[in-house]
Amino acid sequence: MKKLTKLFNFNSYSFSTRVICSLILFIVFFIFIKIALTSTKIENNSLNNEIDYITKTLLLTKEQIKIIGKSLGMQTELEMDLTKKIIEDEIKNIDLKIDKYSSKDYITDILQKSAISNYCSYKTSNDIKYIKEDDNFDKNNLEILKDWQIIKVEEKNKKFSKKEYFLYNYLLKEQKVLLEVGCSKSFLNLNHMGFEMSLKEHLKANLLIDPTLSSTKMAIIWINPKALDDLNYILFEENEEIRKNKYSISMLSNVENIPTGNLTLGEILNQKDTHKPISHKIDKEEVLTWIIDLSTNNSSRKLLLLYSVDKKQLEEKNHSQIFFLLPETLLAISISIILILFFFRRIINNINTLTKTAIKVNKGEKNIRSNVKGDDDIGILGESFDSMLDIFENNIKILDEKVEEKTKEITKSLEEKEILLKEIHHRVKNNLALTISLIELQEEEIEDEKTKKVLVDIQERIYTMELLHRKLYESTNLNKIPFKSYTLDLIKTISKTYDKDEKVKIETSIENIDLNIETAMPYGIILNELITNCFKYAFKNQDEPKLQITISKKNNEEISLILKDNGKGLSKDFSKLSNETLGLRLINMIVNFQLMGKVIYEFDNGAKFTILGKIKE
């Protein structure tokens, strides 16, 4: 008895079993209502519905064909652009391999082994020639270099179409030889055929709308332009030679000739825009034929889709089908839905609860639970889901603790490194200051003025580096130097050495720029050399000496340094003088090889130097 009770207890079955049973009950009930309500009713307008369906499907097929045409066009354009680029790059590569001593045989060998011979014909002005497919070099405009020309040429064995041919001219520099390259569209687009065939196979598989209609005949044809001169003749033609002058049949067709019977070309063209089938006879059997215009606006030939169905077979098919009336169908569906909702109410509620809980968890509410329980599949799923959330929440807490602990370790390590780096800058600064002091002591013992001058120059250059490390030591950011403050201190120090009476008027316009030591060091050395040279040489016999310094940043990538005085300017040409004096030679080397910039000198009522250089990251 218990086993029998369990057998009819719906809740004892698994969720999937209950779903299957419910669907079976639904189908049985639906069929029963269908038979009860609509067994004697047959749809009278089934033929019209079938005709409308075929019409809409053919119009949809027309749009698919248009999309396929656009896809083929896009693929052709991309493939040809890529092949053209390969050919251009190959020509440039060949040009690099050839020099003025290269022999004709050597050039011929390079051209034969190049990728050009895979795609194109070519010839040169020194009588090297290779024809891959067609020779159309007589149509080449030799004045157009490094640009593709497109010409139209007659296609072999085709009366009504022309094909595109592409020409490219390139002058081989060392040999002064003109290289002409000629390529057909097919060789520039070698992968086109495979891509086109895959699209056509897909299209052909979908063109037969109803495979149950064995009489269906489908043909895609091109109307030759000259055939449009007379619209009153019957288009169908048995003779293949005469047929070529009228139309051509695509391989996508499932017939060898068109299913138009005795229809004239005029009747066919008049019907193509109506979106309705034309009724006519083929072999004494009445057929319906749809004529769909597939032509594009820029096409010179008419492209038509002809779709023919035996009218009697279509009527027999539709007479055998029974269609439900809408009210009865809706009533049956409504009753079935009510029954399904009745059986699945509790299950659906639990599923909704699990879904809402999952959405809230996804939004960040990690402490929420579904509380769905039970012995069935949904109950087990709910309990497993809640258990998974418990584990997930616990793992997040553990992970947060580990992240916090690791953050403290990294912070401590960073602080230790900053202290160490600051100590290094301090020691470097002290060592450089000690070096300057030692040079000063040595200077006092030397009597030779030339040697003293060299020691003073060295001392000043070391000072620029010592000042940089002092600024880093004093800065809160150990990787950035306040360059404005550094420049002003450097100017002040040099001025005290060479302008004790403070006769020189110094004007500065310096942006607040923070630089790392890799960028600040070379700019500091350049400033030291230029300012020192001004004080030493520029202001002799000058009553009102004046020095202007402008430093600015451009686009966060480049620094502009302009130094101008009102002195006598350079005594020689700057390019010659920069190779003779150590200071200017040093500036040139730093700007060219460290800052990757340039030095510009000009006389503007005095010497004016403009330094442009990159900012190192």
Summarize pLDDT for 209-237 with one digit per residue, the tens.
566 777 788 888 888 888 888 888 888 88
CB-CB neighbours of 364 under 10 Å: 7
Domain that holds residue 79: 66-193
Instruction: Please give the tally of structural domains in the chain.
Output: 5
Same domain? For 91 and 174 the reply is yes
In-domain check, residue 61: no
Q: Is pLDDT above 60 for 429?
A: no
- Domain end marker among 319, 354, 389: 319
For residue 519, what are its two tokens? 């960028």
Contacts of 371 (CB under 8 A, 6+ apart): 353, 382, 386
Same domain, 490 and 590: yes
106 and 160 fall within a common domain: yes
Q: What is the mean pLDDT of residues 308-334?
A: 67
- pLDDT band per the 50, 70, 90 thresholds, residue 551: very high
Q: Does residue 247 carry a pLDDT above 80?
A: yes
Residue 257 shares a structural domain with residue 344: no
Paired strand residues for 123: 129, 180
Q: Nearest CA to 137 among 87, 82, 184?
A: 184
From the list 305, 292, 231, 216, the residue with the least C-alpha distance to 263 is 231
> Which position has the token pair 């449009």?
228
Spatial strand order of the sheet with 505-510 comes to 505-510, 546-554, 558-565, 607-614, 598-603
CB 221 within 8 Å of CB 202: no
CATH number at residue 526: 3.30.565.10
Q: How far apart are CA 22 and CA 24, in angstroms?
A: 5
Asked whether residue 250 falls in the same domain as residue 131, the answer is no
Confirm whether 59 is domain-assigned: no
Domain edge (last residue) among 163, 193, 223: 193
Asked if the model's pLDDT at residue 165 lies above 80, the reply is yes
Both 539 and 608 in a single domain? Answer: yes
| 3-state percent helix, strand, coil for the chain, nearest multiple of 5 | 55, 20, 30
**pLDDT at site 272:** 80
Co-location of 585 and 571 in the same domain = yes
- The answer to whether 294 touches 65, Cβ cutoff 8 Å, is yes
Instruction: Check whether residue 86 and residue 184 sit in a common domain.
Output: yes
Last residue of a domain, one of 478, 496, 526: 478
Q: Is residue 60 part of a domain?
A: no
- The secondary structure of 195-218, three-state, reads HHHHHHHHHHHHHCCCCCCCCCEE
Kindly state whether residue 198 falls inside one of the protein's structural domains.
no
Q: 58 in a domain, yes or no?
A: no
**Residue 154 covered by a domain:** yes
Query: H helices of 446-551, where?
Result: 449-474, 483-498, 517-533
213 and 286 together in one domain: yes
Residue type, 543: D
Q: Using 50, 70 and 90 to split pLDDT, how confident is the model at 324?
A: very low
- Per DSSP, the three-state class of 290 is strand
pTM: 0.38
pLDDT above 90 for 610: yes
DSSP string, 214-259: TT-EEEEEEE-GGGGG--SSB---S-HHHHHTTEEE-TT-SSSS-S
Question: Tens of pLDDT along 376-422?
Answer: 767 777 777 777 877 877 887 788 788 878 877 766 655 555 555 55
Q: Do 76 and 188 belong to one domain?
A: yes
Model confidence at 149: pLDDT above 70: yes
- Read off the amino acid at residue 309: V
- Whether residue 199 is contained in a domain is answered as no
529 & 452 share domain:
no
- How sure is the predictor about 328, in pLDDT bands with cuts at 50, 70 and 90? low
pLDDT at res. 319: 62
- Residue whose C-alpha is closest to residue 479's, from 516, 513, 507: 516
The answer to whether residues 99 and 24 belong to one domain is no
In a domain, 148, yes or no: yes
Above 70 in pLDDT, residue 188?
A: yes
